[in-house]
Amino acid sequence: MSTSLLEIVDLGDGEVVLQRADDDSEPLVSIQFSEEASAYLMENNLEVAKVMIQAGIQAAAKMAEMSGLEMESSERAEKAERRTLH
């Protein structure tokens, strides 16, 4: 993903989106709350959506980190297998 400024926008119809601030492209994330959920959240949809988006970003970063560690580990194992000991 490019390094552009992102914004979280409450569209007012129960939908909250994460989008690039500098263009009108399709939202990166869309969260839709039903009327029942909105009532339960006491109209705090934006705050809940912010937490949901933050949790998703943290989870994705952790998965990417773990994937990177796994790749480094497998690369080291491959290098160790290629060594020839006499």
Domain boundaries, the chain: 6-82
pTM of the model: 0.68
Distance CA 44, CA 14 (A): 10
Q: Give the distance from CA 24 to its chain's centroid.
A: 20
Kindly tell me if the per-residue pLDDT of 27 is higher than 90. yes
| 8 A C-beta contact, residue 49 and residue 31 | yes
* pLDDT > 60? residue 83: no
Spell out the residues 6+ positions from residue 9 whose beta carbon is closer than 8 angstroms to its own: 16, 17, 19
What percent of the chain clears pLDDT 90, i.e. is strictly above it?
50
Specify the DSSP element, H or E, that contains 15: strand 15-20
Contact in structure between 19 and 7 (CB atoms under 8 Å): yes
Which pLDDT does position 66 carry in this prediction? 81
